Amino acid sequence: MIAPLLAHIQKYTSLTLDEQTIIEQNVKCITLAKKDYLFSEGDLCNAQYFVMEGCLRMFFIKNSGVEQIVQFGIDNWWISDYTSLTLNTPSLFYLQAVQLCKIAVLKKDKQDELFLQIPKMEHYFRSIYQRAYAAAQTRQVYFSDLSGREKYEHFANSFPDFVQRIPQYMLASYLGLTPEFISKIRAKK
């Protein structure tokens, strides 16, 4: 059931069969229909989500009422509201399925259990968070210093398959552009 997750962990550390079984016992697999929510603003987020298939989007609602997407979760990515998860504060975000999804759910208490039973899982998550934080730092440059066209092209070149999979208005929300602007760029190609 969680073969994609076990394969992902094994890119960072080797796992015995016993360890794989322990991980399977601590992770729950769920299927989400399009538009299902994992959590909403005001909820306590108490789990992390590993996307095995499909696509999630994390967004917040601006004071103006407009949805602002801050992150997508695609195949082999972990996604969560780490402030709510770490500090037990109500989430500022919504996490929703963009399409049919298969998700591995790791609850906070189960993660603590894993760290006790398989200490090298600390290495795995240390590596994952280090990369996620690195991406967040670098995104600050791309998002504040590229033109609309450059932002679109940087994103499309970095994630060519992904750009085909999500609705244009969601990509626009993430990049801070209008759907019409993206249509124009695409039409010119």
Binding site for a second copy (CB under 8 A): 60, 62-63, 68, 70-71, 81-83, 85-87, 92-93, 115, 119-120, 122-123, 125-126, 129-138, 140-141, 144-145
Best CA proximity match to 107, nearest among 23, 26, 41 = 26
Best CA proximity match to 125, nearest among 24, 44, 5 = 5
**Which one, 114 or 182, has the nearer CB to a second copy?**
114
CA 109 to each of CA 78, 80, 137, 174, 188: distance values in angstroms, whole numbers, following the listed order: 17, 15, 29, 31, 51
Q: How far is the CB of 68 from a second copy (least distance, A)?
A: 6
Q: How far is the CB of 122 from a second copy (least distance, A)?
A: 4
The rounded distance, in Å, linking the Cα atoms of 174 and 58 is 10
Q: How far is the CB of 126 from a second copy (least distance, A)?
A: 4
The encoded tokens of residue 91 equal 């989430």
**Which one, 62 or 188, has the nearer CB to a second copy?**
62
Q: How far is the CB of 55 from a second copy (least distance, A)?
A: 18
